[in-house]
Amino acid sequence: MVLHPDEFPITIQAFEINNNREFFVAEQVVNSQQEVEAFSNAYAGKVIKAKAVSTTEKTTTSTTRYKKKSSGLTIFLVILFIVLILLAIAYYTGWLQKTTGITF
């Protein structure tokens, strides 16, 4: 199947025919003649059809492949920061010296 360069991108579909009925096998949006040839080779013996890509198919949305997980290190650092602040408050109020018996 040879297509003109100004026709890309297009959608090509592969169908299998059994008992005068078409059964859908695969579909791919292609941007070059090489992709068309690779698809045709992969589905040799099947009926290959081409159609123009609609405007809704041309617009793509960017999605993240992996959900970013919250880091355990971040949680640890926040807890450590809070403990250090509480120790500083206990030291400056004198509560730490009274309860531990430490004098400086």
Condensed to tens digits (0 to 9), the pLDDT of residues 64-89 reads 666 666 788 888 999 999 999 999 99
With beta carbons less than 8 A apart as the criterion, state whether 29 and 59 touch: no
User: Quick one: pLDDT at residue 32?
Assistant: 84
Separation of alpha carbons 32 and 4, rounded Å: 9
With beta carbons less than 8 A apart as the criterion, state whether 10 and 52 touch: yes
Neighbours of 69 (CB within 10 A): 6
Condensed to tens digits (0 to 9), the pLDDT of residues 5-49 reads 677 788 899 999 999 898 999 998 888 888 888 999 999 889 999
User: Quick one: pLDDT at residue 96?
Assistant: 84
Look up the pTM and report it.
0.50
